[in-house]
Amino acid sequence: MRRSVFIAGLATLTLGTLGFGTGQKSYVASAQEKMSTMEVKIDNFSFGPATLTVPVGATVTWTNRDDIPHTVVSTDDSKTFKSKVLDTDEKFSFTFSKVGTYPYFCSIHPKMTGKVIVQ
Amino acid sequence: MSEKKKDELLHDHNHDGVDRRGFLKCMAWAGTGAFCVMKGGVLKSYSLSRVSEISTADMMGELSFVQISDSHMGFNKPANPDVAGTLKAAVDKINALSSAPEFMLHTGDISHLSKPEEFDTVDQILKSAAPKDVFYVPGEHDVLNDDGKQFLERYGKGSKGAGWYSFEKKGVHFIGLVNVMNLKAGGLGTLGHDQLEWLEDDVKHLKPSTPIVVFGHIPLWSVYPEWGWGTEDSAQALAYLKKFGSVTVLNGHIHQTMQKVEGNVTFHTAASTAFPQPAPGKADSPGPMKVPAEQLKSVLGITDVNYIQGKHALAVVDSSLA
């Protein structure tokens, strides 16, 4: 039991590190990194990065690091994604299967906006 | 403070364009609610935390009520791990008033995450308040996930649309507005076409001498649009109220007290019973202000109001405690 928890923890850590390193270099993931998780942090009532470019098939994960709840709601015509309310440290993920630009906002604090560009 | 004498703006946040001529504003880290008394058709509002300083004569009027706001039940972060305790403290202050208020207004963000148990807790605490009637409008935290369905079921009896309504008390016309629904990306609070149409109709037949009290969650004036502290279509709402001699607008949302007088309209925002937020532009974001635990009660409980008195007839509201 203890061991499996440890392994799961390690796996999360590895993935997290990979995602972070990718973000540091460039927000455009290479074809090899296609399946990696791209992250958007919600800090101080803003999405970071506000514009994220990812390849088709990438999964983007938003994490709320504020003391106040936020949402992630797309504003394109077909309303592609909509999270539940994310309390502190809660996450929302969406996998982008089509090329396009996906603007989104926090429906509780509409001044908070961002976009995902899928190439 | 020598600036108190000046009949002009209180520039307390670096001339950032919020202020303008004719603007009167008082701000404070504020108390736990406001005691409001209507006298001669003009509403005076006093922070509950300083109510002991009000003379009995000042507390008497045609009508008195209490405004509380932003109880955020369910919030448990360092800025205030005991929001139930601070709401109870507000109720204790209300119950200690020498002149019993007739009812209470709650200007939204009753809950933090729209959870049934959060609403239940607030209802339970407010049951012990002396005034039995509470009139609510929703904050954005009360309509999460279900477009306000639960809020309407609990508090919206007899209301229209997303929960707006009006009622009369002793000749004063009260209007509860909802500006937290269908918010648009990049925008501010919104009243919407249906509600504006209802408002126009609601006040059409009232005499201009009728005192009007409007209450809603997000400020109906542009406190700080950069942080979303304003309402897109509030100008249209206020246009319908132009004919009235005395209009008071009570809001919450920004967790600090501010007042402003513009023409016939006096705007007030109430403090939160839960946690303070920074003054406009004074922090990276409008998130909760963390203060050391031993200071929290004092931040929520003590008001230090700086007044700039204008020459406008209505500018004397709120001045009595200065």
Q: How many CA atoms lie within 13 A of A98 on its CB side?
A: 6
CA distance to partner chain A, nearest, from residue B285 (Å): 5
Mutation site, B73, B275, B285, B289, interface A, largest A CB count within 10 A = B285
A108 vs B140, B186, B187: nearest CB: B140
Nearest to A110 among B113, B141, B187 (CB): B187
pLDDT band at B27 (very low <50, low <70, confident <90, very high): very low
ipTM of the complex: 0.78
| Chain A residue numbers touching B184 (CB-CB < 8 A) | 110
Q: Closest Cα to residue B253, out of B45, B15, B44, B67?
A: B67
Shortest CA gap A107–chain B (Å)? 6
Q: Of residues B69 and B291, which shows the higher confidence score?
A: B69
Asked whether the beta carbons of B189 and B227 are under 8 A apart, the reply is no
CA distance B125 to B132: 12
Give the pLDDT of residue B41.
78
Q: Cβ–Cβ of A111/B78 closer than 8 Å?
A: no
Is the CA virtual torsion B20, B26, B32, B35 positive or negative? negative
Count CA within 13 A, CB hemisphere, residue B10. 20
CB contact under 8 A, B145 and A46: no
Using a CB-CB cut-off of 8 Å, the residues of chain B touching A103 are: 185
Q: Name the residue ranges covered by the structural domains of chain B.
A: 2-7+21-321
Beta bridge partners of A54: A118
Taking contacts as CB-CB distances below 8 angstroms, the residues of chain B near A83 are none
End-to-end CA distance of chain B: 11
Q: How far is CA B48 from CA B87, B92, B110, in A?
A: 12, 10, 18
**Taking CB atoms and an 8 Å limit, are A84 and B186 in contact across chains?**
no
Those residues whose C-beta lies under 8 Å from the C-beta of residue A30, and which sit 6 or more positions away, are: A55
* Alpha helices (runs of H) in chain B, residue ranges in sequence order: 56-59, 83-95, 116-127, 149-155, 193-204, 234-239, 293-301
Q: Could you please state the CATH topology (level 3) that the domain comprising A2-118 is classified under.
A: Immunoglobulin-like (2.60.40)
| Domain boundaries along the sequence of chain A | 2-118
A59-103 pLDDT, tens digit each:
999 999 999 999 999 998 888 999 999 999 999 999 999 999 999
Which of B246, B200, B192, B199 has the alpha carbon at shortest distance from B218? B192
Closest Cα in chain B, distance from residue A30 (Å): 31
Are residues A85 and B183, on separate chains, in Cβ contact within 8 Å? no
Query: Can you tell me the distance from the alpha carbon of B76 to that of B153, in angstroms, rounded to the nearest whole number?
Result: 26
Please check whether residue B315 is in contact with residue B309, taking contact to mean a CB–CB distance below 8 angstroms: yes
CB within 8 Å: A107 and B227: no
Residue whose structure tokens are 């507390």: B59
Who has greater pLDDT, A11 or A55? A55
The two tokens of residue B103 are 């009812």
SS (H, E, C) A20-31: HHHHHHCCCCCH
Nearest to B67 by CA among B121, B118, B108: B108
- pLDDT attached to residue B297: 55
pLDDT at B18 over 70: no
Task: Report whether A61 contacts A16 (CB < 8 A).
Answer: no
Tell me the whole-structure pTM to 2 decimals: 0.80
The pLDDT assigned to A35 comes to 53
Chain A CB contacts of B77 under 8 Å are: 67, 88
Per CATH, domain B2-7+21-321 is 3.60.21.10: yes
Q: Which residues of A touch B288 (CB under 8 A)?
A: 67-68
Confidence band for A8, pLDDT divided at 50, 70 and 90? very low
B chain contacts of residue A107, beta-carbon cutoff 8 Å: 183
- Distance between CA atoms of B19 and A100, rounded to whole angstroms? 42
- Other CB atoms within 10 A of residue A68 CB: 24
Is B112's CB within 8 Å of A69's CB?
yes
What would the pLDDT profile of B284-308 be if each residue is shown by its tens digit?
889 998 776 666 655 552 222 222 2
Is residue A13 scored above 60 in pLDDT? Answer: no
Are the Cβ atoms of A104 and B113 closer than 8 angstroms?
A: no
A84–chain B Cβ distance below 8 A for any pair: yes
Region label for B134, one of left (φ > 0), alpha (ψ between -120 and 50) or beta (otherwise): beta
Q: Which two tokens stand for residue A118?
A: 């899928």
Least confident of A47-51, B61-65, B178-182, B242-246: B61-65
The residues on B that touch A, with CB distances below 8 Å, are 77-79, 112-114, 140-141, 144-145, 183-188, 226-228, 284-288
Tokens at residue B5, please?
């004498």
